[in-house]
Chains A and B, each alone.
Chain A
Amino acid sequence: MTLQEIVHIYYRVGFGISYAEATILQKESKETIVNELFNASREVKPLAIDISELTAKVKNLNMKDRKKLRSLIKDSTKKVHELNIAWIYKLGNTEQLLREKMTLFWANHFVCQDNNILHIQHYNNTLRKHALGNFKDFVIAISKEASMIKYLNTKQNKKAKPNENFARELMELFTLGRDNYSEKDIKESARAFTGWNHDFMGNFRLRRFQHDTEEKTFFGETGNFDGEDIIDIILKQKQCAKYICEKIYRYFVNDTIDDSRVSEMTTIFFKDYDIENLMRFVLLSDWFYDEKNIGTKIKSPIEFLVGVHRIVPMQFEKPRELIYLQKLLGQHLLFPPNVAGWKGGRNWINPNTMMLRLNLPSVLLANGPISLDEKGEFEDDFQRFNNKRNKQRKLKVLPDWETFHSQQKDVTLKQLQQTIIVSPLNSGTAAYLEKLETQDLKKYSIQLMSLPEYQLC
């Protein structure tokens, strides 16, 4: 594969690749490279933060002690932020690129939010566990997660008074897409999920007396269906495979759907709903490497942040600042805007987020004087910005330039550019880069990451 193709696949299934690593891979075939990506992601390595103190408190909790309960909820919310940070560092350091990238994808598909750390951590690891597995098992597991049961009101869905929230989103967002079902399908399937609940620790529980055991008619089939039967019937609709393939295509290949490619994918996926097979098909196809699919996707804020970290590893002294940045950039992991998740693509970019993205590499990495200007002008603007004008927002970040330099030994500026930027450069900007007199890889890398082109992958 060409250098550009390797950078391309590593941007899409991961967060980029260094020049040194890419040159080693250049000797390998596409099949070997893709196989290696799957092999590296074979195992499931859960994301776990220490919550032993909290679980001990939960066990001794008297539910009538309101004060303790409130303080427990507060502690739990804090832990969710801790999980957010741990997740981002995991993305920044993992070797299981594909599994983690898929987990990120599914987190914005099976969208959920919960301040209960016990439940949401489990939820997050369920995404990770099924990320490359069977889609049907995945949907069933997600539907039984405590966080989901709360988030979409399944626990309020009772035989006497069904609550349609989960049934509607299951079809609209998780499996079929809008308008591919009737209002009656929603009503009937909501009855099948009645009584689905969880216990305090988050284990799934079917409350038998709240479950509607009568006959339901759903997508033309009639029977005494429960939730799993409903999921089974949904997956029999080819539309479900198509809907998922479209989403995968938009996330991994191109914002603009190519119907014939999606139809190839749908045929593969509909056979057995095996996510790994589908992804293998996509990554091995020739069209995945078409010019029109390279360097044209707008990075999500997390892809952007983690991508910078993969070039120059960073340590946030104050984790809160990493959370603040996510909010400003418009993607705060574990806190989606609503059940449809982040829209992505051009929706990430508006004048505000654009400015922030262009400035961020200097803010994050400028721990010394940086010269970014033509003819060696001194540039200290962001230091001043951090030190004087915006005291409360002073970012304390430790960039690890040693690792950067050790990874970029004997790399030329041109080679650095080819691995950091995968999109073609605007001709005016390219001319500007040529004029820069710097030979310093460090300064040059910051400059590259501050370009509009770096927002693309």
Chain B
Amino acid sequence: MNRRNFIKSASLASTALFLPKFVSGFSLLDEAIATGKKLVIIQLSGGNDGLNTIVPFRNDIYYKKRPSLAQQKSNLIGITDEIGFHESLIAHSNLYNNGELCVVNNVGYPNPNRSHFRSTDIWHTASDSNEYLQSGWIGRYLDASKSKSLDAIEVDDTLSLMLKGEQTDGIANKNPALFYKTTQAPYFKKVVEHHNEAHLSEHNLGYLYKTMVTASSSAKYMYETSKTFTTKTTYPNTGFSKQLKQVADFINSGLQTKVYYASLGGFDTHANQVNKQKRLLKVYDEAMEAFVKDLKEQDSFKDTLILTFSEFGRRVQQNAANGTDHGTANQVFLIGNQLKKQGFYNPMADLSNLDTNGDLKYDIDFREIYASVLNNWLDIDAKKVLGKPFSGLNIV
């Protein structure tokens, strides 16, 4: 029995002992032991300026539209004769050179919405732009695969729409030790034991009781499992790095969870964009460097796919405040060592063909990427999750 299997059987046993009888209906663990693939989703919140992230440094339109914001070639990390990475993306350029990065350019959806919240909801729910869904694509993945709350963790204090299903929600947790401690008060256990299950379907009160039961059954498992692993990798001292370190701890300790979600905010650069974006991309890139290193050292990188998106890109034309306003299409990054397509999946956006707002016209619907990930990585029929047929891309 190797270390990981040992941990799994140990935690199975302890969790089963801990659970009050009536909770058995909410049985915690999947029957199949979780050695499967992991998906880590990262959102650059606020709308990262993709055009200054991967830069077409030979494009005249780019320089014309961005007199004071355009990146000069000398600042970039060259990829091809025409395209360069932002200077902060050192780790990403290495991943690119190793064939561990796939960039899907100009990803968006029809009739783009330029509101952060609406567009984030669209990306989270995988809806059309005129369709309002109350559940997220990962939440519906939990539903369709009959998974448990624990199978999707958002490394944060509150749960985003993406992880909310019709029947099952994921769990938000960024500190398993603290979470576990709070479930250990004796009176709390008493309430858990005494409450009448018959009323769990009641409106908001039922929701509160259900959440309480899920919390008590998950906390111990997460805590006991993840504490068996201590990373040797040094992470930068940023909040985002801490999130990714927590994800690595979860994965490397053998937690059953299949999907993780973390986000890095602040990309809404309406004014004085250059330094802000440089700093944020550095935070993102350095955290990713440590994260990938950590996974590689534990041999879990081969089972992990990392998907980075932003709710929209920014307008091609810069504004008067040395910033950019809300735009439309943007890149999506896929990181892993089992990519079917390495490097650039498709050409850069066409800057000479903009919509009436002066924004990019998307080439690839973001749900094509979701479909590929669902079908080929998470092994589920994407149509069950997305509700519509998407043929997918040959990327993973």
Is B116's beta carbon under 8 Å from chain A?
Answer: yes
CB distance from B196 to the nearest CB of A (A): 3
Q: Can you pick out 16 interface pairs between chain A and chain B where the beta carbons lie within 8 Å of each other?
A: A153-B321, A156-B270, A161-B319, A161-B320, A163-B270, A297-B204, A349-B211, A359-B188, A377-B186, A426-B205, A428-B197, A429-B191, A432-B195, A450-B188, A452-B212, A453-B208
User: Is B208 in contact with A452, judged by CB distance below 8 angstroms?
Assistant: yes
CB of B179 within 8 A of CB of A352, answer: yes
Q: Is B219 a contact partner of A374 (Cβ separation < 8 A)?
A: no
| A179→B197 CA distance, assembly (Å) | 42
By Cβ-Cβ distance, the 10 closest A-B pairs, closest first, are A428-B196, A351-B215, A161-B320, A156-B321, A432-B194, A452-B208, A355-B182, A428-B195, A372-B187, A427-B196
Indicate if the CB atoms of B212 and A358 lie closer than 8 Å. Answer: yes
* With A161-B320, A359-B188, A428-B194: A452-B115 Cβ-Cβ less than 8 Å: no
Are A432 and B204 neighbours in the complex by a CB distance under 8 Å?
Answer: no
Q: Are B182 and A359 in contact (CB under 8 A)?
A: yes
A353: Cβ under 8 A from any B Cβ: yes
Tell me the bound Cα distance from A236 to B342 in angstroms: 55
Beyond known contacts A165-B270, A374-B190, A390-B178: 13 more, CB 8 A cutoff = A156-B321, A161-B319, A338-B116, A346-B204, A349-B207, A351-B173, A352-B157, A353-B158, A354-B212, A359-B182, A362-B187, A373-B186, A452-B208
A158 to B319, CA, bound (A): 10
B176-193 CB contacts (< 8 Å) to partner A: 178-179, 181-188, 190-191
What is the interface of chain B mostly: helix, strand, loop, or mixed?
Answer: helix
B residues near A264, Cβ cutoff 8 Å = none
CA distance A178 to B114 in the complex (A): 11
Contact with B along A392-434 (1 / 0, CB 8 A): 0000000000000000000000000000000110111101100
A358 near B188 with CB under 8 A, answer yes
Distance between Cα atoms of A355 and B321 in the complex (Å): 45
Cα separation A255 to B203 with both chains bound (whole Å): 11
Q: Which residue of B lies closest to A347 (CB)?
A: B158
CB distance from A400 to the nearest CB of B (A): 23
The reply to whether A350 and B172 contact each other, CB–CB distance below 8 Å, is: yes
* CB of B169 closer than 8 Å to a CB of A: yes
**Cβ-based interface call for A51 (8 A):** no
CB distance from A297 to the nearest CB of B (A): 7
Quick check: A447 and B209 within 8 Å, CB to CB? no
Give Cα A351–Cα B197 distance, bound, in whole angstroms. 18
Chain B residue at minimum C-beta to C-beta distance from A381: B185
> Which B residues lie within 8 Å of A349 (CB)?
207-208, 211
Q: A255 — which chain B residues lie within 8 A by C-beta?
A: 204
- State which of A178, A330, A350, A424 has its C-beta within 8 Å of the C-beta of B211: A350
Whether, in the assembled complex, A116 has its beta carbon less than 8 Å from a beta carbon of chain B, the answer is no
- Chain B residues with CB under 8 Å of A377's CB are 186
Q: Is the CB of B181 within 8 A of A390?
A: yes
Taking the closest CB of chain B, its distance from the CB of A11, in whole angstroms, is 14
Q: What A residues does B205 contact at CB under 8 A?
A: 296, 423-424, 426, 452-453, 456
Distance, CA A197 to CA B179, complexed state (A): 46
User: Once the chains are docked, how many angstroms separate the CA of A340 from the CA of B117?
Assistant: 7
* A-B CB contacts (within 8 Å), total count: 160
- Complex Cα–Cα for A354 and B182 (A): 10
Taking a contact as CB atoms under 8 Å apart, the answer to whether A455 and B208 are in contact is: yes
Distance in Å from the Cβ of B262 to the closest Cβ of chain A?
15
Say yes or no: is B118 at the interface (Cβ < 8 Å to chain A).
yes
Given A160-B320, A427-B198, do A346 and B187 touch, yes or no (CB 8 Å)?
no
When the two chains form the complex, which single residue of A153, A356, A455 contacts B270, counting CB atoms closer than 8 Å? A153
Which chain A residues border B357 with CB–CB below 8 Å?
Answer: 183
B31: shortest Cβ distance to chain A, in Å?
Answer: 23
**Interfacial chain B residues near A328, Cβ < 8 Å:** 157
Cα of A297 to Cα of B204 in the assembled complex, Å: 7
Min CB gap A255→B, angstroms: 7
Q: Which one of A153, A346, A355, A426 contacts B183 once the chains associate, using CB atoms below 8 Å?
A: A355
Residues of B within 8 A of A165 (CB): 270, 325
Determine if A389 is an interface residue (Cβ-Cβ < 8 Å).
yes
* A451 CB-CB contact with B under 8 Å: yes
B171 interface residue per 8 A CB criterion: yes
| A163 close to B191 (CB less than 8 A) | no
Q: A371: shortest Cβ distance to chain B, in Å?
A: 10
Q: Chain B residues with Cβ under 8 A from A381's Cβ?
A: 184-187
Confirm or deny: A382 has a beta carbon within 8 angstroms of a beta carbon on chain B.
Answer: yes
CA distance A373 to B157 in the complex (A): 30
Q: Does the CB pair B194–A431 fall under 8 Å?
A: yes
Let me know if A168 and B211 touch, CB within 8 A: no
Does B147 have its Cβ within 8 Å of any Cβ on chain A?
A: no
Q: Is B208 within 8 A of A456, CB to CB? A: yes
Q: Which residues of B contact A168 (CB under 8 A)?
A: 114-115
Q: Is A298 an interface residue (CB 8 A)?
A: yes
In this complex, the member of B199, B204, B209, B218 whose beta carbon has the largest number of chain A beta carbons within 10 angstroms is: B204
Contact A429 B194 (CB under 8 A): yes
A229 at the interface (CB under 8 A from B): no
Q: Are B196 and A447 in contact, CB atoms less than 8 angstroms apart? A: no
Give the nearest-CB partner of A454 in chain B. B208
The answer to whether the Cβ of B159 comes within 8 Å of any Cβ in the partner chain is yes
A76 CB to closest chain B CB (Å) equals 19
Q: CA of A338 to CA of B311 in the docked complex: distance in angstroms? A: 14
Residue A164 at the chain B interface, CB threshold 8 Å: yes
Complex interface: chain B residues within 8 A of A452 (CB)? 191, 195, 205, 208-209, 212
Q: Roughly how many angstroms separate A362 CA and B190 CA in the complex, as a whole number?
A: 15
| Residues B320 and A351 in contact, CB atoms below 8 Å apart | no
Name the distance in Å between B343's Cβ and chain A's nearest Cβ: 34
Interface: B214 (CB within 8 A): yes
**A99 CA / B72 CA spacing, docked (Å):** 55
Interface string of A161-173 (1 = CB under 8 A from B): 1011100100010
